[in-house]
Amino acid sequence: MIAVILQARINSTRLPGKALMDLDGKPLLVRVMESLAGIRADRYILACDPASEPPFAPLAKACGYDLFVGDPDDVLDRYCSAIRTYRPDIVVRATGDNPFVFADAAQAALERFSAQENDGASYFGFDGLPYGSGVEILNARDLLDAAERTRDAFDREHVGPALYNHQDRYRCIREPAPAPWRHPAIRLTVDTREDYDRVCVIHRILASRGVELPAPSSAILEAARCARERIVLVPAVGRGKGSGHLVRCAELARNLRTTHCVSLLHPEGARALPADLEDLAINSMPTEAGLVVADRYRSTREEMRRLLAAGPVVALDD
């Protein structure tokens, strides 16, 4: 029996409540569950902590997942408790941070593991996938054994290390991802606000191309590459800055959005954006951009250095 076990919680440290943040009209967690449904398995389980049960229960039911409530801090124990309850032979481990899981790559990993299971494989994973697109394949019996042997905090928080950090006991296999999926520089997980802004941009690109979620890995990769080359518009906003900077950037955004990936930097509390541009808004400067267009008011050297750290800068001056 094969079980997909998805770990998630509502109280994320770096981005609280991210599991319920919107991605095209549905909570992020639902998008993760929908992506994982593309893996052929006998059972799909959402494993959460007690605090997450009330908001997660209806979402799990709607997606056809069993909801399992376990230890809030010892994630390894949560997995093992779910294994004892449902008795799978193979576990596909996934996390609630990743709305763009490559179901085709996960299925390939599962098949590679199954082919080697008779040789005593305990663990399988692909190296070189985009960060946040992969899963881990675990032998359920060996994971139960590992949990009895380790009290290491890292092992118990991250689950997989309980096996691959102890290869004197367990046969753990990591193989280079097949070429179509091998793009380690691409980031698809949601751990920070910038990550969330990035996946929203990727989704917007997919939607502009008529691709619905859950999307094929090839379409996600193309959209992610486009997102890395996005144009970030940075208007001066706030008291004493006038409205002209924002008006110019808004007009640029309208003209560019049909042919380019565009984001409009709009800090919280700033002058309201026109309704047709709200979906382009980001709250913080991304770490990389194909081009930064700065329509500022008396820019400082330090400010320009920060913009240049993201990418080439074109400065507008009225």
Q: What is the 3-state secondary structure (H, E, C) of 277-302?
A: HHHHEECCCCCCCCEEEEECCCCCHH
Please enumerate in sequence order all residues whose Cβ is within 8 A of that of 99, keeping only pairs 6 or more positions apart, or say none: 23, 28, 31, 32, 35, 188, 190, 199, 213
Under a CB-based contact definition with an 8 Å cutoff, are residues 173 and 191 in contact? no
At 111-145, the pLDDT tens digits run 999 998 778 899 999 999 999 999 999 999 999 99
H-type alpha helices, the chain: 28-36, 53-63, 75-86, 103-116, 140-149, 153-158, 161-164, 193-208, 217-228, 244-256, 301-310
What domains can you pick out in the chain, each with its CATH number? 2-181 (3.90.550.10), 229-316 (3.40.50)
- Answer with the residue of higher pLDDT: 118 or 290: 290
Please enumerate in sequence order all residues whose Cβ is within 8 A of that of 2, keeping only pairs 6 or more positions apart, or say none: 40, 41, 42, 43, 88, 89, 90, 91, 92, 110
pLDDT band for position 79 (cuts 50, 70, 90): very high
- Answer with the residue of higher pLDDT: 174 or 13: 174
Lowest mean pLDDT among 91-100, 147-156, 206-215: 206-215
**What is the rounded CA–CA span in Å between residue 134 and residue 150?**
25
**What is the rounded CA–CA span in Å between residue 288 and residue 172?**
35
Largest CA distance in the chain: 71
Report the helix count and the strand count for the chain, using DSSP H and E.
11, 14
Position 240 pLDDT exceeds 70:
no
Joined tokens for residue 288: 């990389």
pLDDT for the residue numbered 201: 85
What is the DSSP-derived secondary structure letter of residue 272? P
**What is the rounded CA–CA span in Å between residue 251 and residue 256?**
9
When pLDDT is averaged across residues 223-234 and rounded to a whole number, the result is 89
Under a CB-based contact definition with an 8 Å cutoff, are residues 141 and 156 in contact? no
pLDDT band for position 78 (cuts 50, 70, 90): very high
**What is the rounded CA–CA span in Å between residue 201 and residue 206?**
9
pLDDT for the residue numbered 269: 62
When pLDDT is averaged across residues 239-268 and rounded to a whole number, the result is 84
Residue 98 phi/psi, 5° resolution?
Answer: -120, 90
Under a CB-based contact definition with an 8 Å cutoff, are residues 316 and 297 in contact? no
Under a CB-based contact definition with an 8 Å cutoff, are residues 163 and 91 in contact? no
Lowest mean pLDDT among 49-58, 144-153, 295-304: 295-304
Torsion on CA atoms 34, 35, 39, 45, rounded to nearest 10: -50
